[in-house]
Amino acid sequence: MMWDGIIIGGGLAGLVAGIRAQERGKQVLLISEGAGSLTFAAGVLDFGRMEELQAQENHPYALLGEQAVRDAFRYLIGLCPVYHGEWGRPQAVLTPLGMLRQADLVPFRLDASPLAGAREIILMAPEGLKDFFPEVVKTNLQKQFPGAAVRLQRLRVEEFTNWHRVGKPVPATVYAKFWCTRQGALTLQNLLQETALEVRSGLNPVMVIPGLSSAFCPGLAQTLDKAPWPVVEVTSFPPSPAGQGLYETLKEEFRALGGELLIGSGVGRVEIESQAVRRVIVKSRGKETAFAARAFVLATGGLFGRGITVSPTEVREAVFGLPLYVPAEWSGSAFLGEQPYARTGIAVDDRLRPRHPISRELLLTNVHVAGRMLAHWDPWLERCGGGVSLASGFLAGELL
């Protein structure tokens, strides 16, 4: 059997490409070596400064155009309605240390704006929550919201007694999973009721709770809706409940549309005939398995996703062996020093097809490149990781 499209790489870019192509009636197989980087990311999506980035020659935004990026922005909200955002109006969210940062698409309740009008902030401190430093967060909140009194309220859940006893911190994802059960939601409801007795509603109280993600958990969202004051959640260090929530939601959507996911074994090699890829070969256990398709998406996540591998002598695109654009500073002697390696990737045409970084010749006619594999952008400096991956993934799904 011939698939309509095979996507290599199951991160944000690959999953969105897969969902879009399935929606268009294509039969898609997504092959991924491991779970993508969404589980590490905070679950909020940044789009960066469109105008500035679009003006950079070769930047993915310049290739895609503003309309395509805006379409992708709206598309994600349609796909996951728990995400809120308005184009060009970033929202404030709390970092794990309680500082404010901006983000463009934010899961419901991570939006920190209710804090602006608060005169009392109740900071919940779940016992033993990993990577959560209550005093630091409290100090930071106090500094940023001098008009409010910040009160720390410790909370303890019986379920984690064993963890506390052996002194093992409870990861945010584990806490979040508990709150997501019926019993967890009930426990939280009781805690909220107890706290309500001590809170003076005239002070516009706002409660801050780390280590949960109600957006991806309807039962919990209902409980928090009933709270007598606004609740603001906090982004987490990896692994993050919201990032995990987005990852699971996208996988579920892809499967519900009839797409097939093969996670755990990567594409080892490919068969190419006259500039077109025919089959990809997966390193299954025991033997190789070949899958044929009309078109392919390469979304293997760049250096972090292992789509680009580095050895002391070369930087390599791992699946097709495509030539990479490598910033000049990096090819110099200080190879692994602090250099703009972030812009390393594959140069493409306006249909996201790979081309030679220097001669600009088209290299493969039925492959579209998306996400972190694209050259000429820097997610850290430009704060556009979500935007580029989403928009290029969406376009790849349109083109399959």
Partner 1 sequence: MEDQGKRVKGLDPARAENLDACIKCGACTAQCPVTAVYPLFPGPKSMGPDAERLRLAGVALTPDCLSYCTNCKTCEVTCPSGVRVTEMLLRAREQEKEAKTRLTGRRRNVRDYILGRAEHLGRLGTVWPALTNAVLRRKTTRRLLEKSIGLSARAPLPLYSQKFRHRDKSSPLRELLRGDGIPDPAARIVYFPGCFITYNDAATGQAVVKVLEHNGFEVIVPEFHCCGVPLTTNGHFREAVANAVHNLALLQPYLEEGIPVIASCTSCGLALKDDYPRVAAPGAERVGAQTYDFFEFLWELHNRGDLREDFQAVPVSLAYHAPCHLKAQGIGTPAVRILRLIPGVKVLELDAGCCGLSGSFGFKEEKYNLAQQIGSSLFSRVQTGMEEKKFQGVVTECGGCQIQIAHGSGAETVNPVWLLAEAYGLKGKS
Binding site for partner 1 (CB under 8 A): 1, 29, 33-35, 39-40, 160, 162-163, 165-166, 168, 170-171, 173-174, 177, 181, 238-239, 244, 248, 251-252, 255-256, 258, 260-266, 282-287, 289, 301, 305-306
> Can you tell me which of 300, 325, 368, 394 binds ligand FAD, judged by CB under 6 A?
300
Q: Enter the tokens of residue 260.
A: 């097939």
Stretch that binds ligand FAD, among 12-20, 60-68, 125-133, 149-157 (CB under 6 A): 12-20
Tell which positions 207-246 bind ligand FAD, by CB under 6 A. Answer: 238
Q: Are 3 and 296 in contact (CB under 8 A)?
A: no
SS3 state of residue 49: coil
With CB under 5 to 8 Å by kind, the binding choice for 287 among ligand FAD, partner 1, none is partner 1
**Distance between CA atoms of residues 377 and 58, nearest Å:** 9
Min CB(291)–ligand FAD separation in Å:
12
Give residue 347's identity as a one-letter amino acid code: A
Min CB(271)–partner 1 separation in Å:
16
Task: Name the DSSP letter for residue 331.
Answer: H
Indicate whether 34 belongs to the interface with ligand FAD (CB under 6 A). yes
Q: Are 286 and 304 in contact (CB under 8 A)?
A: no
Considering the complex, state which of residue 205 and residue 371 has its C-beta at the smaller distance from ligand FAD: 371
With CB under 5 to 8 Å by kind, the binding choice for 12 among ligand FAD, partner 1, none is ligand FAD
With CB under 5 to 8 Å by kind, the binding choice for 3 among ligand FAD, partner 1, none is none
Min CB(6)–ligand FAD separation in Å:
10
Q: For residue 366, count CB atoms less than 10 angstroms from its CB and return exposed for 0-12, middle for 13-18, buried for 19 or more.
A: middle
Stretch that binds ligand FAD, among 112-120, 303-311, 332-340, 343-351 (CB under 6 A): 303-311
**Distance between CA atoms of residues 165 and 168, nearest Å:** 8
Min CB(283)–ligand FAD separation in Å:
9
98, 133, 153, 253 from 138: Cα distances, Å: 7, 9, 11, 38
Stretch that binds ligand FAD, among 108-116, 162-170, 193-201, 299-307 (CB under 6 A): 299-307
**Distance between CA atoms of residues 11 and 60, nearest Å:** 18
Considering the complex, state which of residue 122 and residue 388 has its C-beta at the smaller distance from ligand FAD: 388
With CB under 5 to 8 Å by kind, the binding choice for 381 among ligand FAD, partner 1, none is none
> Residue written as tokens 């580095």?
310
**Distance between CA atoms of residues 68 and 48, nearest Å:** 15
Min CB(210)–partner 1 separation in Å:
17
Q: Enter the tokens of residue 327.
A: 């910033």
> Can you tell me which of 6, 7, 44, 207 binds ligand FAD, judged by CB under 6 A?
44
Residues in the interface with ligand FAD (CB under 6 A) total: 39
With CB under 5 to 8 Å by kind, the binding choice for 163 among partner 1, ligand FAD, none is partner 1
Min CB(306)–partner 1 separation in Å:
5
Query: Could you count the other beta carbons within 10 Å of the beta carbon of residue 74?
Result: 11
String of DSSP letters for 223-273: HHHTSSS-EEE---SSS-HHHHHHHHHHHHHHHHTT-EEEES--EEEEEEE
Tell which positions 138-177 bind ligand FAD, by CB under 6 A. Answer: none
String of DSSP letters for 83-122: EE-BTTB-EEEE-TTS-EEEESBEETT-B-GGGGG-SEEE
**Distance between CA atoms of residues 296 and 36, nearest Å:** 18
> Residue written as tokens 């209550």?
134
Stretch that binds ligand FAD, among 28-36, 146-154, 188-196, 216-224 (CB under 6 A): 28-36
| Secondary structure percentages of the chain, helix, strand, coil, to 5 | 40, 25, 40
Indicate whether 82 belongs to the interface with ligand FAD (CB under 6 A). no
Considering the complex, state which of residue 90 and residue 259 has its C-beta at the smaller distance from partner 1: 259
Considering the complex, state which of residue 230 and residue 354 has its C-beta at the smaller distance from ligand FAD: 354
**Distance between CA atoms of residues 217 and 60, nearest Å:** 34
- Residues in the site for ligand FAD, rule: CB under 6 A? 8-14, 31-38, 40-42, 44-46, 238, 266-267, 299-301, 304-307, 318-319, 371-372, 379, 385-386, 389
